[in-house]
């Protein structure tokens, strides 16, 4: 009997087994539903709240001259301080995301036409552009790879880099194609990439490259053009979003509208939001926005609070309304309402419990690694309400990826850089942002000369100074500042300088003694932390505009050349 | 069509029945020539050889052979010395033998027992009580699909018996094996000393790049986890090390085989033999980290803050409160709330608070307990034998509030019946139930517990002011509410049929059926902590409470059929074996995650109202194999053995599935030669040589098929996670067996009346076709390189065993030692640039590439004149930082092109693999007293314990504020006179910086000669003192035999590294942040009724 059982189990295909819990490639790519399954995964590259397991959550611009953190968020600080070293491997030179899109584009042809097929191809092209832009910002020139490589694809694996101009043209062609394939907002499910998102992203990429090629024309990081072509394209793409008229600025009480844009859990009905990312405690999201988790280790700088205009439209150097900065209550008085809506002031709600009792802000919590280093805590992205489900402040705060205001700012800046800026352009863009918060409009013919305009190391028309100021005031700590500094070749703004905090008033001193201050009695949290001249940022303009390629890559591929200065 | 030629040769019949039939012809041919063959009388089993008996005088000796407990030993060997005359005992241990004359000497031997010689003289009745042995050349050793006399072995095989592992207060056979067998390397796994933790095992240091290099473990011929067996049920353990010995297991045995045989029923004059044994132990951690006192900690923390230019963590005011609390506990506030009343001003884990807490005293118990109870009933009658046992092992954990435990229940049954005179049927039944309970951490799992413990500052208060609520940082409330309950149930049913239709021709039919049902339930309930405003706040939000059951079930079915024919014709001894085996393994798992428990009291999927997700895992693999062996020896003097095995495995793609693994070995026993000159001194001398090839199929399933995993998007679409697929990696086509070829030379010697015996083996293994990552390619590939069979590793090593045993009157003693070492070198690998990011030709496995250093900078002047170190850290270098040597005089310290040919200033600074592993033991007995000690150790090992970048225990204060810890050893760090602790310019540790990342990487973060640790150690693994109560006392209460003993485990360690236990530098969270090993003091009792 035993032998019979043996014989019975002796089938010829006894050893030929296939996976039971995974889909094998030949069984996939049958329908647009398969395409959707795949594309859903590509969204993971979109930015979100910075994960932090230690209870702190730095501001998105932390590490620049506008916001800093102590001990928590170092990549940006190290970049501006020139303390990045060449790694052997990794170092951001990661091509996984590019391959993931290429794999999709190669196999999409196997799916029968119809339905949302073209739209999903459009989404994938958007993400290839996104992934390439991420790499471009770090490394400049890049190899252009349009298919999934095999381990023995010698030509592609060991190729040299294409110039950044070619790379951006490649990104533009992907995005142009994406725009032509993607459906409009109302034709696709919420929070999916749609046509205007690709256009806005196109304007972001083109503005980045246009200004980069313009301002880096005379250094080692230059492209092959003077940037005009890209700036033109940036203006066109931003204008397409404006003209599409699907989106508009969110409006409301000028003293709240700006703050309320950033403390929402759900932005799906907000007219200003093109793409946002939501979080759900119920679905297991952890360590999301913890800016409410007070203190959270980061704060805004003196440079930041000095940037904002006064309510009369004049800079603080000239406005009679300016009250000085020896007390935070003075700092915020008579200023662009976006300032008071961005930083915590005494009396602001820190926490509103379920019984509607409000705990109010009195003082910043200073000193120590997870405490506020500067005395200017962020109000932006902070939601004081207790969530009944968690008994805690919500970690479900929405993260904004694309909003309409950027289209306006991109358009104004591109037009200005092209020398084509008109009052009509300003009224269409900057002045819409200003009027929303009740600030006086900008008039091209009568721009007040600010003696304290930042010195970029090159001459800049007065309107561009103000457009760049407006960009800070509007897009503060939404993650644009590092990119802006790089594309404007703006190292003069920070090299050899140090970010300072608030005035170390008697009130602060009584609560938090022994803090480090500068000669003028301003908090100086980075006093011994930076490596450059005068104890300031040590950014090397001949080197740090791009990141180094890991040494292993140079060893493996001898046609790859290291970036300048490394 | 896809089948290879080999398949045709061995599997023309496709089925085993032919494999079964072939030996029938072979055997019957021999049978036909044997005129002395008889059919079925029991007597035939007794007399091995009738040829010479006719010439004997008619002296008949009878007697009974019993084990150490007086129980009859069936099938024990009795040989007349210097002849081939011999017999075996019957089921009751009785024997009868005719010998030549009164000068004859009888040798009694039995598997696992010391052989015993008796001069016949005038005796006609000789009763022998055998003594358990750890090693004897006359022993019978279990080998693959059979057994052999140790004297006839030609391969590299070590074996031990139950005596060597008995009465140890340990949970598993694995723990008791460490250090006993040379080149069976057993080391602490990442689970550390957790109750019920498994250990890592490997044999002979053989390395695999991508597969597993764990040895293949068989219990009674059934594939099993070594930890599923109760050590008390074990009779013998054999380790097959060289290819020739393990070749019979082919593709499963590339990295060695461990064969375990469990106990069988023995006769006790017709009565059942009942054995009860127990062991009750107190255990405590071998080493718990020690924190410096709170005030010293505060000064160190302030120094580290000063070094980054930060404000001090402890202001003068806090230091003052701290001093008060140290002098007079509770005299000053330990912590304050923040102005918002919602959070406490305690920095990271208590930095800046003013308590004086001895955390490890709070968190660890002084003593914990373990207990073992084993009861067995065994016996045999003429027609059947049986063995039934039940065992319980219970271990409580070391954490005072962790409430962790491990319990294991075993049932083992073995029943054999003589169905007919030529057929024996039997059934093996094994049941194992293990339950492990453990605190869990919802987000990061178990290991996070030790990680969090390592971050606790001595200034952190244990409880909230004026309350009995543990602080959230202590994690005690979290441990209570977040739990991991794991139960594993394994059942083995293994019917056996043994046919012996013709004397010497034995056919075994074995069905092995194993099923495991494992269940892991992770649950996280709500817990609360106290806010400064006096309100309780949820430490875990209700919405995040969870219940996550995981069910795994697997079944394994493996029919085995093998047939052996053994014949001795005069001095020619033959044995031939052929067999067939197939295996099918099925795996099925269901995982559920349910969030938001409505009631913490009834956690279940039904009572959870949040998101629920379910996923599964399924898989199977199968193998088919044919195997055979031929043994021949002439007069036990010239020995030859040949093995083959053909294996087919489903893990490889069709066409690559089959492998053929042959081996040969030979031995010569010169001491049996007439011309051998030193017979008086050297009693036995054997030379052995073997060569063979094995395969390894231990790679993941279906690597050749591109698959898309299913997952959920991290991005929420309209608030929902959508399903998504993950892109496939490049599939690993053409993957096939790893091959291990081993050449082994060995010798066994016995001197001075067998008092001194020794065994030595030297071997060289070449592992080729290694399954590993393909060559390093540029990262633009965008995925991991597919696995391929590539490269060759050569491992050379040796193992040495020596033992001495002697009796001085009633005083018997034994001393043994073993030593082993090996070294592996990469002979070839597809890495043309010889880049150091992957394997390269000429690499010694385990080597650590790092930098040479020359102390610490003392002044900034010294810095200015030193070669640039900006490659290592682009920021500022300060006095107190590490000086790296510019070995290549390039003017800057760097790693060149990071290749083996251009490595700049980087050199091999050490080797992390343990070398010169040794063990030694001594035992003695005198009358009823017995004593034994057993030491185990590692002779040489370099440990680099800075790989995990944050929270590194080695770095102590040189971590970010959250991860910072200070042990007394860390106080030897560089500081100038401005520190309250005084200047320490000649420090061991570099200047610490209170940052998470960055500055500390100057001195730490890459291996240096300075900070490599010496991992050598010597451990007193076990010490035992026992006393056997005289029989005349025990007999009165119907106890045949009773032994009480004290046994201590891990009592003492000698090591070079103060900071950590060298065996515990790993761990789930890296570098020593792991459950400590325990030492145990136990009392035991062993009673036979």
Report ipTM (2 d.p.): 0.89
- Closest CA relative to residue A448, chosen from A312, A544, A336: A312
Cα distances from B619 to residues A16, A537, B701, in angstroms, run 13, 56, 8
pLDDT of residue B370: 92
Contact B777 A156 (CB under 8 A): no
Q: What is the pLDDT of residues B169-207, one digit of tens each?
A: 787 888 888 888 888 888 888 788 888 888 888 888 776
| Distance separating the N- and C-terminal Cα atoms of chain B | 63
Does residue A158 sit at the B interface (CB-CB below 8 Å)?
yes
Q: Kindly state the percentage of chain B with pLDDT values over 90.
A: 40
* Cβ separation A23–B708 shorter than 8 A: yes
Where is average pLDDT lowest: B274-278, B779-783, B931-935, B1069-1073?
Answer: B1069-1073
What CA–CA distances, in Å, run from A109 to A30, A43, A106, A120, B903? 10, 21, 7, 12, 47
* Mutation to test the B interface, candidates A1, A11, A26, A40, most B Cβ within 10 Å: A40
The least confident of B134-138, B530-534, B782-786 is B134-138
Per-residue model confidence as pLDDT tens digits over B68-104: 777 788 778 888 887 878 888 887 888 988 888 888 8
CB contact under 8 A, A145 and B782: yes
Tens-binned pLDDT, residue by residue, of chain A (566 aa): 445 445 444 555 777 776 666 777 777 888 999 999 999 999 999 998 876 544 456 788 988 999 988 765 578 888 999 988 888 888 899 999 999 999 999 999 999 998 899 999 999 999 999 999 999 999 999 999 999 998 888 899 999 999 999 999 999 999 999 999 999 999 999 899 999 999 999 999 999 999 999 999 999 999 999 999 999 999 999 999 999 999 999 999 999 999 999 999 999 999 999 999 998 877 777 666 767 666 677 899 999 999 999 999 999 999 999 999 999 999 999 999 999 999 999 999 888 877 888 888 888 888 766 678 899 999 998 888 877 766 677 778 899 999 999 999 999 999 999 999 999 999 999 999 999 999 999 999 999 999 999 999 999 999 999 999 999 999 999 999 999 999 999 999 999 999 999 999 999 998 888 888 999 999 998 888 888 888 899 999 999 999 999 988 998 999 999 999 98
- DSSP-derived secondary structure for B931-995: EEEEEEEEEE-EE----S-SS-GGGTTSS-TTT----GGGG-B---TTSTT---TT-SB------
Q: How far does the CA of residue A515 sit from the closest CA of chain B (Å)? A: 6
Candidates B624, B716, B873; nearest CB to A14? B624
Tell me if residue B874 falls in helix, strand or coil: coil
Judge whether A19 is closer than 8 Å to chain B, CB to CB: yes
Q: Which residues of chain B are within 8 Å of residue A82 when distances are taken between CB atoms?
A: 874-875
- State whether A41 and B724 contact (CB < 8 Å): yes
User: With 80 as the cut, is the pLDDT of residue B8 above it?
Assistant: no
Whether B309 sits inside 8 A of A516 (CB atoms) is yes
Find the helix or strand (DSSP H, E) in which A94 lies: none
Name the closest residue on chain B to residue A350, using Cα atoms.
B340
Q: What mean pLDDT comes out for the span B307-312?
A: 80
Looking at the partner chain, which of B308, B497, B538 has a beta carbon nearest the beta carbon of A529?
B308
User: Half-sphere exposure of A255 toward its Cβ, with a 13 Å CA cutoff?
Assistant: 6
Contact at CB, A15 and B657, closer than 8 angstroms = yes
Which helix or strand (DSSP H or E) is residue B40 part of? none
Distances in Å between the Cα of A248 and the Cα atoms of A267, A404, A406 are 14, 6, 11
Q: Pick B898's closest partner by Cβ from A19, A72, A551.
A: A551
Residue B705 and residue A72: Cβ atoms within 8 Å? Answer: no
Tokens of B208: 């695999």
A-B Cβ pairs (cutoff 8 Å, strict): 323
Residue B232, classed as helix, strand or coil, is helix
Q: Is the pLDDT of residue B712 over 50?
A: yes
Which residue of B779, B789, B904 to mutate against A (max A Cβ within 10 Å)? B779
Note the residue count of chain A.
566
CA A10 to chain centre: 62
CA B218 to CA B337: how far, in whole Å? 61
Q: Which of B8, B310, B1005 to mutate to test the interface with A (most CBs of A within 10 A)?
A: B310
Asked if residues B120 and B98 have their Cβ atoms less than 8 Å apart, the reply is no
User: What average pLDDT does this structure show over B581-603?
Assistant: 89
A190 min Cα distance to partner chain B (Å): 6
Instruction: Assess whether the previous peptide bond of B520 is cis (omega < 30° from 0).
Output: no
Q: Would an 8 Å CB–CB cutoff place A283 in contact with chain B?
A: yes
Position B630 scores a pLDDT of 93
Query: Who has greater pLDDT, B728 or B412?
Result: B412
Residue with tokens 């969204």: A43
Measure the CA–CA gap between A291 and A49, rounded to whole angstroms: 10
Q: How far is A64 from chain B (nearest CA, A)?
A: 17
Which chain A residue shows the shortest CA-CA distance from B619? A20
Average pLDDT over residues B686-703: 83
In A, minimum Cα distance to B901 occurs at: A555
Contacts of A187 (CB under 8 A, 6+ apart): A194
Asked if A2 and B497 come within 8 Å (Cβ–Cβ), the reply is yes
Residue among B317, B343, B781 whose CB faces A151 most closely: B781
Per-residue pLDDT at B1000: 85
Arithmetic mean of pLDDT, B32-47? 38
Chain A residues 387-446 with CB within 8 Å of chain B: 389-392
Instruction: State chain B's mean pLDDT as an integer.
Output: 85
What would the mean pLDDT of B1027-1041 be, rounded to a whole number?
A: 82
- pLDDT confidence of residue A564: 95
* Nearest-CA distance A199 → chain B (Å): 21
A365 contacts in chain B (CB < 8 Å): 338-339, 345
Instruction: Give the nearest partner residue to B622 out of A14, A54, A368, using CB atoms.
Output: A14
Helix (H, G, I), strand (E, B) or coil at B209: coil
What pLDDT shows up at residue A294? 61
Cα three-residue angle B405-B409-B413, rounded to 5 degrees: 165
Q: Which residue has the higher pLDDT, B874 or B1046?
A: B1046
Of B311, B340, B720, the CB nearest to A294: B340
Query: Is B598 exposed, middle or buried (CB count within 10 Å of its CB: 0-12, 13-18, 19+)?
Result: middle
Angle between helix axes A462-475 and A404-417 (nearest 10 degrees) is 160
Distances in Å between the Cα of B784 and the Cα atoms of A87, B700, B709, B777 are 19, 15, 16, 9
- pLDDT of A486 reads 97
Phi and psi angles of residue B185, each rounded to the nearest 5 degrees, phi first: -90, 120
Residues of B in contact with A531 (CB under 8 A): 874-876
H/E element holding B399?
Answer: none
Interface-testing mutation among A1, A3, A189, A369, with chain B (most B C-beta atoms within 10 A): A369
Return d(Cα B968, Cα B989) in angstroms, integer: 12
- Confidence bin at B438 (pLDDT 50/70/90): very high
Mutation site for A-interface testing, chosen from B616, B709, B727, B962 by largest number of A Cβ within 10 Å: B727
More confident site: B499 or B876: B499
How would you class B855 by CB atoms within 10 Å of its CB: exposed for 0-12, middle for 13-18, buried for 19 or more?
middle
CA B532 to CA B336: how far, in whole Å?
7
Give A-chain residues touching B1000 at CB under 8 angstroms. Answer: none
Q: Give the model's confidence band at B49: pLDDT under 50 very low, under 70 low, under 90 confident, else very high.
A: very low
Residue B785 predicted with pLDDT over 70: yes
DSSP H helical ranges for B206-293: 243-246
Check B779 against A553: CB less than 8 A apart.
Answer: yes
Is 60 exceeded by the pLDDT of residue B775? yes
Quick one: pLDDT at residue B501? 92
The winner for highest mean pLDDT among A402-411, B628-637, B818-827, B839-848 is A402-411
Residue B313: its chain A contacts at CB < 8 A?
A: 368
């Amino acid at each position: 009997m035993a032998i019979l059982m043996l014989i019975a189990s002796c089938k010829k295909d006894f050893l030929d087994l296939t996976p039971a819990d995974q889909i094998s490639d030949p069984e996939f790519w049958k329908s647009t539903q398969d395409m959707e399954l795949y594309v859903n995964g590509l969204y993971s590259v979109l930015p979100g709240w910075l994960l932090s397991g230690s209870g702190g959550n730095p501001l998105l611009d932390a590490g620049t001259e506008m916001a800093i953190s102590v001990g928590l968020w170092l990549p940006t600080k190290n970049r501006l301080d020139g303390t990045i070293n060449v790694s052997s491997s990794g170092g951001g030179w990661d091509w996984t995301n590019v391959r993931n899109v290429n794999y999709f584009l190669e196999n999409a042809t196997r799916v029968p036409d119809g339905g949302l097929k073209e739209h999903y191809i459009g989404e994938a092209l958007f993400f290839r552009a996104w992934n390439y832009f991420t790499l471009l910002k770090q490394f400049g020139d890049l190899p252009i790879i349009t298919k999934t490589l095999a381990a023995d694809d010698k030509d592609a694996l060991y190729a040299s880099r294409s110039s950044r101009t070619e790379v951006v043209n490649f990104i533009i062609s992907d995005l142009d194609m994406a725009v032509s394939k993607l459906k409009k907002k109302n034709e696709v499910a919420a929070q999916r990439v749609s046509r205007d998102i690709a256009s806005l992203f196109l304007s972001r990429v083109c503005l980045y490259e246009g200004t980069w090629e313009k301002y880096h024309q005379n250094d080692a990081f230059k492209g092959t053009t003077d940037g005009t072509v890209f700036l033109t394209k940036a203006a066109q793409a931003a204008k397409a979003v404006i003209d599409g008229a699907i989106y508009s600025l969110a409006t409301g009480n000028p003293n709240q509208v700006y703050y309320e844009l950033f403390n929402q859990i759900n932005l799906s009905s907000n007219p200003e939001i093109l793409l946002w990312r939501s979080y759900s405690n119920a679905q297991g999201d952890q360590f999301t926005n913890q800016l409410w988790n007070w203190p959270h280790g980061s704060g805004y700088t003196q440079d930041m609070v000095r940037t904002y205009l006064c309510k009369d439209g004049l800079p603080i150097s000239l406005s009679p309304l300016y009250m000085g900065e020896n007390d935070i209550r003075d700092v915020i008085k008579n200023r662009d309402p976006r300032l008071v809506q961005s930083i915590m002031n005494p009396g602001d709600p820190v926490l509103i419990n379920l019984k509607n009792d409000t705990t109010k802000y009195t003082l910043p919590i200073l000193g120590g690694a997870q405490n506020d280093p500067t005395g200017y805590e962020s109000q932006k992205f902070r939601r004081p309400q207790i969530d009944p489900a968690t008994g805690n402040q919500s970690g479900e705060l929405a993260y904004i990826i694309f909003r309409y205001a950027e289209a306006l700012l991109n358009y104004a800046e591109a037009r200005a850089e092209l020398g084509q800026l008109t009052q009509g352009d300003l009224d269409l863009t900057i002045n819409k942002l200003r009027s929303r918060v009740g600030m006086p409009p900008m008039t091209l013919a009568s721009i007040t000369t600010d003696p304290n305009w930042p010195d970029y190391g090159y001459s800049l028309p007065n309107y561009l100074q103000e457009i760049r100021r407006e960009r800070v005031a509007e897009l503060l700590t939404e993650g644009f500042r590092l990119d802006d500094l790089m594309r404007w070749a703006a190292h003069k703004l920070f090299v050899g300088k140090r970010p300072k905090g608030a005035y170390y008033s008697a009130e602060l001193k009584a609560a938090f003694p022994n803090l480090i201050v500068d000669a003028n009695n301003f908090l100086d949290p980075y006093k011994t932390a930076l490596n450059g001249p005068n104890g300031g940022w040590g950014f090397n303009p001949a080197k740090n505009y791009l990141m180094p390629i890991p040494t292993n890559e140079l060893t493996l591929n001898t046609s790859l050349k290291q970036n300048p200065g490394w | 069509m896809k089948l290879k030629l080999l398949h045709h040769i061995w599997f023309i019949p496709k089925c085993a029945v032919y494999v079964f039939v072939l030996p029938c012809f072979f055997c019957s041919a021999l049978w036909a020539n044997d005129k002395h063959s008889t059919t079925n009388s029991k007597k035939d089993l007794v007399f091995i050889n009738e040829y010479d008996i006719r010439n004997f005088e008619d002296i008949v000796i009878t007697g009974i052979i019993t084990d150490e407990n007086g129980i009859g030993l069936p099938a024990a060997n009795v040989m007349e010395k210097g002849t081939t005359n011999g017999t075996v005992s019957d089921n009751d241990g009785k024997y009868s033998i005719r010998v030549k004359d009164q000068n004859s000497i009888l040798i009694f031997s039995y598997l696992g027992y010391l052989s015993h010689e008796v001069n016949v003289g005038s005796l006609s009745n000789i009763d022998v009580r055998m003594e358990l042995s750890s090693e004897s050349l006359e022993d019978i050793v279990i080998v693959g699909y059979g057994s052999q006399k140790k004297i006839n072995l030609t391969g590299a095989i070590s074996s031990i018996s139950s005596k060597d592992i008995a009465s140890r207060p340990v949970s598993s056979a694995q723990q008791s094996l460490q250090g006993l067998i040379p080149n069976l390397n057993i080391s602490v796994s990442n689970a550390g000393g957790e109750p019920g933790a498994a250990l890592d095992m490997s044999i002979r240091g053989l390395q695999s790049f991508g597969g597993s290099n764990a040895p293949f473990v068989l219990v009674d011929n059934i594939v099993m986890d070594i930890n599923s067996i109760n050590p008390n049920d074990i009779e013998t353990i054999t380790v097959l090390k060289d290819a020739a010995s393990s070749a019979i297991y082919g593709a499963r045995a590339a990295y060695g085989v461990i064969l375990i045989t469990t106990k069988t029923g023995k006769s006790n004059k017709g009565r059942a033999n009942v054995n009860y044994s127990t062991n009750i132990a107190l255990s405590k951690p071998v080493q718990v980290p020690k924190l410096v006192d709170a005030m010293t900690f505060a000064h160190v923390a302030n120094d580290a803050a000063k070094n980054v230019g930060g404000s001090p963590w402890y202001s003068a005011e806090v230091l003052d409160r701290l001093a008060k609390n140290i002098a007079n506990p509770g005299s000053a506030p330990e912590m304050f709330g923040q102005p918002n009343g919602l959070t406490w001003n305690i920095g990271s884990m208590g930095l800046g608070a003013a308590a004086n807490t001895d955390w490890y005293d709070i968190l660890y118990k002084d003593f914990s307990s373990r207990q073992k109870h084993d009861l067995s009933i065994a016996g045999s009658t003429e027609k059947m034998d049986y063995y039934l046992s039940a065992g319980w092992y219970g271990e409580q954990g070391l954490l005072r509030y962790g409430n962790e435990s491990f319990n294991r229940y075993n049932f083992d049954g073995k029943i054999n019946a003589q169905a007919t005179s030529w057929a024996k049927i039997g059934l093996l039944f094994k049941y194992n139930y293990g339950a492990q309970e453990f605190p869990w951490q919802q987000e990061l799992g178990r290991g996070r517990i030790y990680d969090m413990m390592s971050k606790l500052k001595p200034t952190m208060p244990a409880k909230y002011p004026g309350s009995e609520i543990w602080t959230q940082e202590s994690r005690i409330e979290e441990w209570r509410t977040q739990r991991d309950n794991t139960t594993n149930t394994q059942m083995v049913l293994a019917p056996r049929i043994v046919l012996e239709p013709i004397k010497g021709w034995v056919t075994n039919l074995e069905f092995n059926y194993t099923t495991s049902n494992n269940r892991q339930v992770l649950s996280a309930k709500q817990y609360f902590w106290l806010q400064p405003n006096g309100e309780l706040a949820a430490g875990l939000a209700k919405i995040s409470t969870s219940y996550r059951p995981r069910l795994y079930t697997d079944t394994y079915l493996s029919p085995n059929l093998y047939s052996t024919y053994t014949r001795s014709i005069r001095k020619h001894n033959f044995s031939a074996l052929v067999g067939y085996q197939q295996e099918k393994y099925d795996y099925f798992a269901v995982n559920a995650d349910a969030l938001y428990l409505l009631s913490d009291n009834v956690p279940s999927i039904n009572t959870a109202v949040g998101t629920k997700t379910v996923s599964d895992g399924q898989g199977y693999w199968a193998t088919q194999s044919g195997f055979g062996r031929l043994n021949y020896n002439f007069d036990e003097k010239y020995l030859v053995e040949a093995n083959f095995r053909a294996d087919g495995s489903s893990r490889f793609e069709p066409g690559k599935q089959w492998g053929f693994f042959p081996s040969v070995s030979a031995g010569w026993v010169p001491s049996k030669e007439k011309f051998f000159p030193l017979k008086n001194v050297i009693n036995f001398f054997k030379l052995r040589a073997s060569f063979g090839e094995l395969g390894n199929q231990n790679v993941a399933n279906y690597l050749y098929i591109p698959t898309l995993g299913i997952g959920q998007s991290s991005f929420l679409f309209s608030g929902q996670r959508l399903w998504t697929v993950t892109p496939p990696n490049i599939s690993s086509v053409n993957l096939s067996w790893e091959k291990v070829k081993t050449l082994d030379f060995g010798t066994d010697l016995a001197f001075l009346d067998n008092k001194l015996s020794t065994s030595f083996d030297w071997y060289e293994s070449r592992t080729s076709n290694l399954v590993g990552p393909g060559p390093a390619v540029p990262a633009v590939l965008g995925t991991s390189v597919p696995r391929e069979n590539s490269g060759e590793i050569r491992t050379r090593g040796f193992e040495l065993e020596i033992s001495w045993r002697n009796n001085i009157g009633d005083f018997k003693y034994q001393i043994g030692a073993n030593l082993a070492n090996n070294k592996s070198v990469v002979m070839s690998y597809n890495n043309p640039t010889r880049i150091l990011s992957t394997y390269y030709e000429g690499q010694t496995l385990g080597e650590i590439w790092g930098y040479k250093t020359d102390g610490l900078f003392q002044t900034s002047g010294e810095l200015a004149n030193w070669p640039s170190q900006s490659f290592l850290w682009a920021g500022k270098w300060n006095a107190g930082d590490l000086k790296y040597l510019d070995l290549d005089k390039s003017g800057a310290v760097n790693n060149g092109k990071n290749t083996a040919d251009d490595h700049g200033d980087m050199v091999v600074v050490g080797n992390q693999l343990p070398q010169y592993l040794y063990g030694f033991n001594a035992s003695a007995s005198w009358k009823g007293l017995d004593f034994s000690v057993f030491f185990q150790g590692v002779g040489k090992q370099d440990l680099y314990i800075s790989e995990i970048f944050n929270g590194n225990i080695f770095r102590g204060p040189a971590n970010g504020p959250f991860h910072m810890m200070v042990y007394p050893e860390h106080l030897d760090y560089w500081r100038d006179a401005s520190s309250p602790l005084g200047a320490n310019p000649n420090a061991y540790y570099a200047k610490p910086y209170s940052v998470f990342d960055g500055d500390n990487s100057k001195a730490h973060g890459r291996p240096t000669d300075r900070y490599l640790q010496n991992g050598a150690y010597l451990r007193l693994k076990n010490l035992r003192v026992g006393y056997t109560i005289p029989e005349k006392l025990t007999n009165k209460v119907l106890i045949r035999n009773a032994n009480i003993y004290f046994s201590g485990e891990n009592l003492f360690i000698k090591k070079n590294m103060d900071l950590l236990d060298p065996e515990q530098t790993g761990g789930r969270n890296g570098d020593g942040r792991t459950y400590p090993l325990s030492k145990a003091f136990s009392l035991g009792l062993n009673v036979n009724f």
